[in-house]
Structure 1
Amino acid sequence: MPGSTIDAMPRRAAPARGQRARRLRGDGRVAALFAAPSLIGLTLFTLFPIVMSLVIAFFRWPAVGEQVFTGLGNFTQLFGDPVFRRTLFNTLLFVVLYLPLNLIVSVGLAVWISPRIKGRQALRVVFFLPVVTPMVANAIVWRMIYQPNGFIDGTLHAATGVHAPNFLGEQGWAMFAVVAMSVWQGFGYNMLVFSAALDAIPRQLVEAAQIDGAGPWRLFFRITLPMISPAMFFATTMTLITSFQVFTQPFLMTGGGPGIDTETLMMFVYNQGFSVYQFGLASAAAWILFVLILGVTAMQFAGQRRWVTYDV
Structure 2
Amino acid sequence: MTAVTSDTSLDDARGARPAPPERGRRSRRRDVGAGFAFLSPWLVGFVVLTAFPMVASLYLAFTDYDLFRPPSWVGLENFTKLFEDPRFWTSARVTAIYVLVGTPIKLAAALAVAMVLNMRHRGQGAYRSIFYAPSLIGASVSIAIVWKAMFIDNGIVDRIGQLFGLPAGGWVGDPSKTMPMFVLLAVWTFGAPMVIFLAGLKQIPGELYEAAAVDGAGPIRKFWRITIPMLSPVLFFNLLLETIGAFQVFGSAFIISGGTGGPADSTLFYTLYLYIKGFAQFDMGYASAMAWVLVVVVGVITAILFKTSNAWVHYSGDNR
- TM-score (norm: length of structure 2): 0.90
- Paired position in structure 2 for 1:218: 221
1:145 to 139, 144, 150: 150
- For the pair 1:202 / 2:217, whether they are aligned, the reply is no
- Paired position in structure 2 for 1:236: 239
Distance in 1 separating the partners of 2:45 and 2:201:
40
Distance in 2 separating the partners of 1:194 and 1:235:
8
- For the pair 1:75 / 2:79, whether they are aligned, the reply is yes
TM-fit CA distance, 1:40: 2.0
Moved more, 280-289 or 135-144: 135-144
TM-fit CA distance, 1:149: 1.3
- Paired position in structure 1 for 2:265: 260
**CA 160–308 in structure 1, closer or farther in 2 if over 3 Å, else same:** closer
TM-fit CA distance, 1:33: 2.5
TM-fit CA distance, 1:160: 4.3
CA contact (8 A) 2:132 2:192 kept: yes
Distance in 1 separating the partners of 2:113 and 2:152:
29
CA contact (8 A) 2:154 2:169 kept: no
- Residues 29-68 of structure 1 aligned to structure 2 (within 5 Å): 29-68=33-72
Distance in 2 separating the partners of 1:91 and 1:218:
35
Distance in 2 separating the partners of 1:34 and 1:42:
14
**CA 165–13 in structure 1, closer or farther in 2 if over 3 Å, else same:** same
- Paired position in structure 1 for 2:136: 132
Aligned length, in residue pairs = 306
CA contact (8 A) 1:147 1:153 kept: yes
What letter corresponds to residue 153 of structure 2 in structure 1?
P
Q: Which runs of 5+ in 2 are unaligned?
A: none
Distance in 2 separating the partners of 1:16 and 1:68:
58
- For the pair 1:275 / 2:274, whether they are aligned, the reply is no
What letter corresponds to residue 182 of structure 1 in structure 2?
A
**CA 258–50 in structure 1, closer or farther in 2 if over 3 Å, else same:** same
Structure 1 residue matching 2:25: 3-state secondary structure: helix
Moved more, 41-50 or 223-232: 41-50
CA contact (8 A) 1:152 1:164 kept: no
Moved more, 64-73 or 209-218: 64-73
**CA 160–36 in structure 1, closer or farther in 2 if over 3 Å, else same:** closer
Structure 2 residue matching 1:36: 3-state secondary structure: helix
After superposition, give the CA deviation of every residue in 1:121-176 in whole Å (9 maximum; x if it has no partner).
Answer: 2111111101001521211111111111111122333x346544321101211111
What letter corresponds to residue 72 of structure 1 in structure 2?
L
- Residues 168-187 of structure 1 aligned to structure 2 (within 5 Å): 168-185=172-189, 187=190
**CA 162–107 in structure 1, closer or farther in 2 if over 3 Å, else same:** closer
RMSD: 2.1
Distance in 1 separating the partners of 2:155 and 2:26:
71
TM-fit CA distance, 1:23: 1.4
- Paired position in structure 2 for 1:246: 249
The share of aligned pairs that are identical, in percent, is 35
- For the pair 1:192 / 2:195, whether they are aligned, the reply is yes
Distance in 1 separating the partners of 2:129 and 2:168:
32
Distance in 1 separating the partners of 2:178 and 2:307:
34
- Paired position in structure 2 for 1:92: 96
- Paired position in structure 1 for 2:122: 118
- For the pair 1:107 / 2:111, whether they are aligned, the reply is yes
After superposition, give the CA deviation of every residue in 1:70-103 in whole Å (9 maximum; x if it has no partner).
Answer: 2111011001000111001111011011111011
Q: Which runs of 5+ in 1 are unaligned?
A: none
